[in-house]
Structure 1
Amino acid sequence: MNAELDLALERRIGKRSAGVIEKHLGITTVGGLLNYFPRRYLDRGELTRISEIPHDEDVTLIARVVSNSSRQMRERRGSITDVIIADDTGPGLKIVGGSDYRGSVPGTLKVSFFNGFRAKSDLQPGRRALFSGKVTSFKGVLGLTNPDFQVLDEDPDVPGVDPEALAARPIPIYPATAKLTSWSIQKVVETLLETLDLDSVPDPLPADIVQREKFLPAAEAYRQIHVPATTGDWQQARKRFRYQEALVLQSALARRRAQLAAEEATARRPVADGLLAAFDAQLPFTLTAGQTAVGKTLTEELSQDSPMNRLLQGEVGSGKTIVALRAMLQVVDAGGQAALLAPTEVLAAQHYESIRRTLGPLSRDGLLGGLGADSVQVSLLTGSMGTAARKQALLDAASGTAGILIGTHALLSENVRFYDLGLIVVDEQHRFGVEQRDALRAKANKPPHLLVMTATPIPRTVAMTVFGDLETSVLDELPAGRAPISTHLVGLAENPGWAGRIWSRSREEISRGHQVYVVCPKIGADDDGDFSPGEAEPTGADTDAGGRELASVTGVVEYLQQEPVLAGVSIAALHGKQDPALKSATMADFAANTTSLLVSTTVIEVGVDVHNATMMVILDADRFGISQLHQLRGRVGRGGLPGTCLLVTNLEPGHPSRRRLDAVAATTDGFALSQEDLKLRREGDILGASQSGGRSTLKLLRVLEHEDVIAQARQDAQLLVGKDPALAGQPALAAAIDEYLNPEKEAFLERG
């Protein structure tokens, strides 16, 4: 790292300013603040549309003052200055200022200052100003209380700068906090630029790339991104830093791939007359062309002495499990073990039974013991197993008796040991965090092969795919017998009468001899929800925006048992906190059609296979993520009968969360939904544990918007690392990787 950039911030801007920056932004070095880029820019002639500002969020906007009045407070000493600001001052706009202001006129906002003597004098009608604060609501009227402001019409004189040029400068808007405004950050950054020798800062980009792309030099790019004279200045600077970010990431990925390829994994080559050959010979159906092609790829990669790292994406029921099982048998043939990690006990148990049933005579009873070339022992390990069964499963894994071990998070426990773990299969990977998958990989003697399966990639996976860290295979053929699923958005806010129709429609399906799922976001009144990691609406509230209690399994069962249209219908409840024996019995009853209507949380999201189920009602569907909704509806229409899914919401039309529901209702294409999910929730932390949104390491780079930049950077990085794996000839680039991708973050690059 360059000594200048690594310098303590107080050495350049003073202890007081540095303390404020550290307290509110967590930045302590010169390089940290220098690379704290504006998130957008405002033109000084631009008037932000007040009608579009979000409620209960910190905003920075430019507006014109329409009126200014002050009044004395009644219950305590002091005054209140009310300032009305507007989008524009057209002839049709009439505002009554001061205490007579009663409501919100479109395009206006009321700004109140307690003892606002400066606001009273500075914010005169007609002046344009920059405001920064939190939007609040009082009696239904949006407003700002005691915001920071800066009058733009009276900028202080800057020596040597043309006033007209100064007036034309874009205003950088930095990611700010409630206590630290954007322009306060701007002033500190400008102070830093004045004291810093930018020309001494090394450029991470190779000179030939800078010349080829006609990029700004690093020093000039820093000046223009923070203090642009024109719109073109910051656009040029952003272009350069966006590519720089992509190259740093891609070089790190290329370096990790090179290191991974150099690691010695155990090759698991196929055996001509082994279990896999016997399994293929007894299959009662022919593999699809996609299954055959993916199987060939897996066979080749498992045969290499470098670890496989592959994502297998396929729609619900597309045959991913058969492909994975064939890969597991190849590893077992080669003397290794395979572990299948499932997100729920219901799914783990179903995988256990399904795989043993599919193997038929090739599945050996664990009581026989010993290894044999003509059979494989499949064992199950879950958290709720009895002590004796759990000990036996642990012993079978550690001794190598179990060729295939299927389990839940229990597989990640410290006391789980493997004799020779050669392949990890992660099912429905959107239910697991990165660290959980990595914990299982650490149990292998040598780097194991990894196969990640999903029906709908979540944003982080799509991002990693675009960045090239995961090799990807797709099964895009639906199996024979799968009927289409019709998905409908049921908006009760605009159509309250549809509430009753939901249950009469359910009764129609049941009267035809079919079955119905009803999915709720909560178990009971005191529950926080039964969501997948990273999928739930991040409100943490038990009520919706209107204060209504969210649907719970216990509450809905009680209600439906009293619903006249469902009289005589057998109704059961299922959720993750039930006793395992009760859960198994409940699912068995539903599978046998003893139960007609099953009210459940998302424990039925994956793996549940009841062919007679033709309808699903998802209550408070806006509380679930796109991946969950897509997975859930995949439970119906599995037996050749058309499926129907109703996405029920009480949110008003136009609410942002309804966009997710519209997306799911519009298509059953899993990859298209993952792209939409990425647009809505961002990439997640490409280099960290976060699965989506909010904590992205990326600053200027956006995966879907800048695929061309990423592709070019990947090509350049492969050439650089191919010629110089340690990047010894590119010390500035290597230093940028070390700084931007600290060891903890870089380790995530190979975890998939």
Structure 2
Amino acid sequence: MTEQTLVSFEASGLSTYLGDKNATALEKAFGYTTVGELLWHFPRRYVEVGELTPIAELPFDEHVTVVAQVVNVSQRQMHSRRGFIYEVTVSDELSSGGQELKMTFFNGYQARTDLTVGTIAMFSGKVGWYQDHLQLSQPDYAVLDEASQADPRPIPIYPASAKMPNKRIRDLIGLLLPHVTEENLPEFLPSDLLGSNHYPQRFQAYLQRHAPREVKHAYVARQRFAYEEAFVLQLTLAERSRQLGAQHAVARPRQSGKLADKFEAQLPFTLTEDQLQVGDQLASDLSQPHPMHRLLQGEVGSGKTIVALRAILQVIDGGGQAALLAPTEVLAAQHFASITKMLGGLADPGLFGEGEGAGVALLTGSAKTAQRRQALLGIASGEIGLIIGTHALLSDQVQFAELGLVVVDEQHRFGVEQRDALRAKSGDAVPHTLVMTATPIPRTVAMTVFGDLDTSTIKRLPAGRAPIQTHIVPMQLTSFRERLFSKITEEVSQGHQVYVVCPRITDTAAEQGVLLSTYEESSGQTMSVEAMMELLAGMPSFANVRVEALHSQLDSEDKQDVMDSFAGGNIDVLVSTTVIEVGVDVHNATLMVIMDAERFGISQLHQLRGRVGRGGLQGTCLMTTWLDADHPSVGRLKTIESTMDGFELAEADLAERREGNILGAQQSGSRSALKELSIIKDRKLIEQARANVEALMNVSEWQNKYPELLKMAGSWVDESSQEFLNKN
């Protein structure tokens, strides 16, 4: 059977098999328009007869399943809003005691049709209490005919909505299942992989997932589809990597006695073993005639910038230019300041001029006209070897003499179009690409999302950096509140600086105008930058403390002025939002206070914590919360408190977030959102799929042997996900 058959069935409009009315209802409920999308609407669980609970033994507030016969029905209008309530009284089919139970359905049009007196059905829902008796409100149900009563199969329970209840979903999918045949859904995975894993054929897996004879069959089908997703995704990434490797780049081998060597000779410290090892990897990549595509990840303060700078100088020594793309003007300015300081005299222009310097320039959207003109001329002439900037680098006005390396900081903050626009400025040869991130990436995420990039990791911090002391501050206790603010003034009195991070900029409309004269008045409110500034202004102990605010609503020039003042030691306490999460590097900052810390994610808290203790001084992070110690959200704070290992925290963050749509923006009904594959639960399966793909890529002319597999990999992800996978 050809690939055309596979496309024609799964890509068919739902109206072809379900009619226009049902197709329209499914599109309104879930956004589905094709057969394939509906087939991938898999059950979230199954109800088995073995799970049944007699009505007389129903536990309150728990999820139960009962088989019962309808003995009475009634309908009444709702008082508070339009619509009606359909009430069904059922009698237990498992017990001869005649126990009864009431069910309520709000606007239960479908239930009114299905559940008439004498009907036997399986009901599933949470046991509630209403008017002195137990009831199930809006339960899932499945009508049992004589055949299903004699041979009851597991009942699939689907993700449903008020207008598209489970019963209707089961009926509509039931109309599709007779068309689920090997002819309509041919297999595209290699047969040896199916056989070694004991996976069913594709059409069989669909049948077992939607209408299993036993739940274990549905589980096997689920594994098959999860493996299918992992395999096709890994194949897509591998094919992308192969195509990238076939492109041409200018080789920039290491040259002795030039800028890179001079830079290392003037370093006042010794590079760590990790920095040297990663540096060797980059040097080797840059020496090849095909483009480097490497991800460099490392803890905050691990020295990624120095490693990247060594690679940049190697490219400049080889006659090329480098562009460092930062997500914000604050971060771009920080990079410019730190890199020019590290280079010293080597930062002076001179790539094609008389001098021997690298030539470093900063270009941002807020750059003044004269500064911008000078930078543009230097880039075009080749006098500037390293240009650091934001999206302003993507402007048509920016023309490079010979762009040899693109360094992208905090990769996830840029769109593919932006990176491609920068690459397009390099002419015929493709520039080398280095992606940096300070957010540790769990191994399975790196394999699944960054599978087409080689990965380097710096795990060890440079010598002399003490671990940051981290503590939770329970704000319900007066003594802890008082100690928090006295700790801030103590650090300032010792000549140090402090960050105070708040979850939001301003108060809500209801809270505006309410002056917080004491911190107790803020209990239950989320602290804002605005409220914190008011609070500190009213505290006598802060009368001589220089406090300023920083947030995204300030214009670019004001933000830069505040950051320059803080970096220059002219501000003692910076009250900020998470705008300082990435890249702000002030060595004199020793204390990070995070207000309402439960409002932030694990990785975000770890990034914020890394802003202090960067200059050899002991760093402290205080995370405040009004929540009780046993609140689930406080567990996240305890995780941060217990470890400085960013990779361990990344795993915890991933488990907490349940990974979401790792391929990019969620689109309703899109196959790009992984349906079955979980990068938390399916780690071994992902590793297995990756190994299988690597073996396949070594098979001679595998594309000719498995043409349908290659086509499926090309069509598996939608356009937005293809762009997301296009990392360079």
Aligning the two structures, in what range does the TM-score lie when normalised by the shorter sequence? 0.7 to 0.9
The partner residue of 2:371 within 357, 381, 389 is 389
The question of whether the paired residues in 2 share the 8 Å contact of 1:460 and 1:685 is answered with no
The alignment status of 1:619 with 2:613, answered yes or no, reads no
The alignment status of 1:328 with 2:312, answered yes or no, reads yes
The alignment status of 1:425 with 2:407, answered yes or no, reads yes
The question of whether the paired residues in 2 share the 8 Å contact of 1:460 and 1:683 is answered with no
5+ residue gaps, structure 1, are 54-59, 99-109, 528-545
Deviation at 1:264? 1.2
Paired position in structure 2 for 1:722: 698
Deviation at 1:743? 5.2
Deviation at 1:607? 2.8
Paired position in structure 1 for 2:347: 363
Paired position in structure 1 for 2:124: 130
Aligned positions of 1:347-746 closer than 5 A: 347-365=331-349, 370-371=352-353, 374-445=356-427, 446-457=429-440, 462-464=445-447, 468-492=451-475, 495=477, 498-525=480-507, 549-651=525-627, 657-689=633-665, 697-724=673-700, 727-742=703-718, 744-746=720-722
Deviation at 1:351? 1.3
Paired position in structure 1 for 2:37: 32
Deviation at 1:557? 0.9
Measure the CA separation in 2 of the matches of 1:77 and 1:505. 57
**Post-superposition CA distance 1:547-568 (Å, at most 9, x none):** 9553222221111110234343
Secondary structure (helix, strand or coil) at the match of 1:451 reads strand
Normalising to structure 1: TM-score of the pair? Answer: 0.82
Paired position in structure 2 for 1:104: none
% identical equivalent positions: 49
Paired position in structure 2 for 1:155: 144
Residue type at the aligned position of 1:490: V
- Superposition RMSD in Å: 4.1
Aligned positions of 1:9-408 closer than 5 A: 9-46=14-51, 62=65, 111=104, 113=106, 118=112, 129-130=123-124, 147=138, 149-152=139-142, 155-158=144-147, 163-166=149-152, 169-365=153-349, 370-371=352-353, 374-408=356-390
Deviation at 1:240? 1.7
Secondary structure (helix, strand or coil) at the match of 1:32 reads helix
Deviation at 1:290? 1.0
Measure the CA separation in 1 of the matches of 2:432 and 2:116. 67
Deviation at 1:417? 3.0
Deviation at 1:61? 7.5
Measure the CA separation in 2 of the matches of 1:440 and 1:176. 45
For residues 641 and 187 of structure 1, do their structure 2 counterparts lie closer, same or farther at Cα, with a shift above 3 Å needed?
A: same
The question of whether the paired residues in 1 share the 8 Å contact of 2:46 and 2:157 is answered with yes
Residue type at the aligned position of 1:258: R
Paired position in structure 2 for 1:542: none
Measure the CA separation in 2 of the matches of 1:726 and 1:414. 42
Secondary structure (helix, strand or coil) at the match of 1:243 reads helix
For residues 50 and 500 of structure 1, do their structure 2 counterparts lie closer, same or farther at Cα, with a shift above 3 Å needed?
A: farther
For residues 137 and 299 of structure 1, do their structure 2 counterparts lie closer, same or farther at Cα, with a shift above 3 Å needed?
A: farther
The question of whether the paired residues in 1 share the 8 Å contact of 2:141 and 2:166 is answered with no
Deviates more, 1:398-407 or 1:20-29: 20-29
Secondary structure (helix, strand or coil) at the match of 1:647 reads strand
Measure the CA separation in 2 of the matches of 1:602 and 1:569. 22
For residues 509 and 418 of structure 1, do their structure 2 counterparts lie closer, same or farther at Cα, with a shift above 3 Å needed?
A: same
**Post-superposition CA distance 1:58-111 (Å, at most 9, x none):** xx97468999998776789997567899xxx99xxx99x99xxxxxxxxxxx95
Deviation at 1:233? 0.7
For residues 578 and 25 of structure 1, do their structure 2 counterparts lie closer, same or farther at Cα, with a shift above 3 Å needed?
A: closer
Secondary structure (helix, strand or coil) at the match of 1:727 reads helix
**Post-superposition CA distance 1:488-531 (Å, at most 9, x none):** 23344x6476434321232333344433211112233479xxxx
Residue type at the aligned position of 2:434: L
The question of whether the paired residues in 1 share the 8 Å contact of 2:140 and 2:166 is answered with no
5+ residue gaps, structure 2, are 510-521
The question of whether the paired residues in 2 share the 8 Å contact of 1:369 and 1:401 is answered with yes
Deviates more, 1:40-49 or 1:397-406: 40-49
Measure the CA separation in 2 of the matches of 1:427 and 1:242. 32
**Post-superposition CA distance 1:688-740 (Å, at most 9, x none):** 4569xx99621211123222222222222223233356722113312322331
Deviation at 1:467? 6.3
Deviation at 1:288? 1.2
For residues 550 and 425 of structure 1, do their structure 2 counterparts lie closer, same or farther at Cα, with a shift above 3 Å needed?
A: same
Deviation at 1:150? 5.0
Measure the CA separation in 1 of the matches of 2:630 and 2:405. 46
Paired position in structure 2 for 1:541: none
For residues 371 and 176 of structure 1, do their structure 2 counterparts lie closer, same or farther at Cα, with a shift above 3 Å needed?
A: farther
Deviation at 1:174? 2.5
For residues 171 and 425 of structure 1, do their structure 2 counterparts lie closer, same or farther at Cα, with a shift above 3 Å needed?
A: same
Measure the CA separation in 1 of the matches of 2:535 and 2:129. 36
For residues 583 and 610 of structure 1, do their structure 2 counterparts lie closer, same or farther at Cα, with a shift above 3 Å needed?
A: same
Secondary structure (helix, strand or coil) at the match of 2:622 reads strand
Measure the CA separation in 2 of the matches of 1:436 and 1:230. 50
Paired position in structure 2 for 1:107: none
Secondary structure (helix, strand or coil) at the match of 2:337 reads helix
Measure the CA separation in 1 of the matches of 2:206 and 2:368. 62
**Post-superposition CA distance 1:602-653 (Å, at most 9, x none):** 2322333333322111112233232221111112222333222122234556
Deviates more, 1:624-633 or 1:456-465: 456-465
Secondary structure (helix, strand or coil) at the match of 1:607 reads coil
For residues 465 and 639 of structure 1, do their structure 2 counterparts lie closer, same or farther at Cα, with a shift above 3 Å needed?
A: farther
For residues 459 and 186 of structure 1, do their structure 2 counterparts lie closer, same or farther at Cα, with a shift above 3 Å needed?
A: farther
Deviates more, 1:738-747 or 1:204-213: 738-747
Residue type at the aligned position of 1:457: P
Normalising to structure 2: TM-score of the pair? Answer: 0.84
The question of whether the paired residues in 2 share the 8 Å contact of 1:341 and 1:425 is answered with yes
Deviates more, 1:299-308 or 1:640-649: 640-649
Secondary structure (helix, strand or coil) at the match of 2:436 reads strand
The question of whether the paired residues in 1 share the 8 Å contact of 2:180 and 2:207 is answered with no
Measure the CA separation in 2 of the matches of 1:45 and 1:39. 18
For residues 23 and 460 of structure 1, do their structure 2 counterparts lie closer, same or farther at Cα, with a shift above 3 Å needed?
A: farther
**Post-superposition CA distance 1:139-174 (Å, at most 9, x none):** xxx9997x4x5545x51234xx6x3422xx222233
**Post-superposition CA distance 1:105-133 (Å, at most 9, x none):** xxxxx95646989499769999851359x
